[in-house]
Amino acid sequence: MSLLSVRHLTTAFPAGDRWLPAVQDVSFDIARGETLALVGESGSGKSLTAYSLLRLVPPPGRIIGGDIILDGQNLMDLAEAEMEKVRGARISLIFQEPMSALNPVRTIGSQLTEAMTVHGLGGADPKAAAIALLGTVRMDDPARRFDEYPHQLSGGLRQRALIALALCCRPSLIVADEPTTALDVTIQAEILNLLRQLKHEFGLSLLLITHDLGVVAHTADRVAVMYAGRIVEEAPVRRLFKSPAHPYTQALLRAMPGSTHSARRLSPIEGHVPALQELPPGCAFAPRCQWVHEACVGETTDLYPVDAAHTSRCVLVREAQRLAADQAQGPSHS
């Protein structure tokens, strides 16, 4: 059984007398000890999916459909008071920007010990437990960092403090929302390496939200590609990088430096992710797709199997399968 099973998750925002889905019919699983990367451009719905998992959708948005099943329990069935016990204890979130996520007027240590105390952890000496945890996330001189404020720490140390907060209640799943965006390349590598080590050390599962395919290649086991609120492709990482099946994924890889799919010159994706109120009928990527044809417009596109572990939301996959089946049958005889 998967640790996390998300089924048909739909999160929407009101617009007059209707709801516009920013996350639409999203389904995926995360196994125990697995890292799933959720990738896509800004505005694709990645971060909103992450916040939806913890039922922290910013108002006036709301989850209007779907199930979020964590270790056999449907989080959509819980009252808010019960959900508060889940956040941090069973599923934690590493926010994108440490300076806005950490309380600027409280020390790092006080924020850690409070989180432990709220969930009945830390034992007889929460301070010692917090200092030990700061050492676990590879902070130098953790006893001194315990008494420091967020503004006294570098960006990399603030991110380590956020990781410590996410770990303090020993959750089974951590959601990391763009955890290296604001860091330079060297510190990015250190933080990603730390997350990999902690995942194995604590037996964690990880949902990594990112727009950086280079991060995905070195960190994730599987990857789900999002576009305009939908997952358009999902596959094991190596398979997706070797044989992307959706035109959007192919375009992302062509725009990635060093990718085997990019030419000598990088190929940016023309256009932009459509606004919620401007979603075209059929495939949302059709206006930007070099392979677009009449079957893409006006038709709701499903996720079609490429193989047992690989799916793509593209009618070209369906057509390729049909042609392959026709070829396998050979010419008809009258």
The helix (H) or strand (E) run that includes residue 99 is: helix 98-101
Strand-pair category, 73-74 with 222-227: unpaired
Report the alpha-carbon distance of residue 210 to residue 192 in Å, rounded.
12
Report the alpha-carbon distance of residue 136 to residue 164 in Å, rounded.
8
The helix (H) or strand (E) run that includes residue 305 is: strand 304-307
Domain ranges of the chain: 243-334
User: What's the predicted TM-score (pTM) here?
Assistant: 0.91
Task: Tell me what the mean pLDDT of segment 74-84 comes to.
Answer: 97
Q: How far is CA 299 from its chain centroid?
A: 27
pLDDT of residue 325: 64
Q: What is the pLDDT of residues 94-109, one digit of tens each?
A: 988 888 889 999 999 9
pLDDT of residue 258: 62
pLDDT of residue 323: 60
267 confidence band (pLDDT: 50, 70, 90): confident
Task: Tell me what the mean pLDDT of segment 265-281 comes to.
Answer: 83
User: Which residue carries 């315990």 as its tokens?
Assistant: 146
Q: What is the pLDDT of residues 170-207, one digit of tens each?
A: 999 999 999 888 788 888 999 999 999 999 999 999 99
- Angle at which helix 126-136 crosses helix 155-167, to 10 degrees, equals 120
